[in-house]
Amino acid sequence: MATELAAQTMAGSAAMLLERMEQERRLAGDSPSDFRADTTAAQLRAMVTSPGGTTAAALRELERAGLRAAVDTAVWAAKTRAEQLRITSE
């Protein structure tokens, strides 16, 4: 039950973020450099986080545990490896 709830929460959050990103892209129009996905992610988090609520408590613990740095490192490693694979397949 908890796993399903977590999965549904992530799916809903991802859908909200994608919708928000698409809105931002449309607003940026001819100026895609004005679009910043990290800003919309922060806005989404603010929209769903009640001060003193469960999400705020969870986010504090994730930050304290270093999740942001771990995700950044993992994404960087995946990007680097994808570039290596692309080069070797050429």
In this predicted structure, the answer to whether residue 69 has a pLDDT above a threshold of 90 is yes
> In the chain, where are the structural domains located?
1-48, 52-90
What's the pLDDT score for residue 37? 65
What's the pLDDT score for residue 72? 92
pLDDT tens digits, 19-67: 888 887 888 775 656 566 666 778 888 888 899 998 899 889 999 999 9
Q: Are 16 and 40 in contact (CB under 8 A)?
A: no
Choice between 84 and 14, residue whose per-residue pLDDT is larger: 84
Residue whose C-alpha is closest to residue 58's, from 18, 1, 17, 2? 2
Q: Which DSSP string do the residues of 21-55 spell out, in sequence order?
A: HHHHHHHHTT-GGG--HHHHHHHHHHHH--TTSHH
Q: Are 20 and 44 in contact (CB under 8 A)?
A: yes
0.75 exceeded by pTM: no
What's the pLDDT score for residue 7? 85
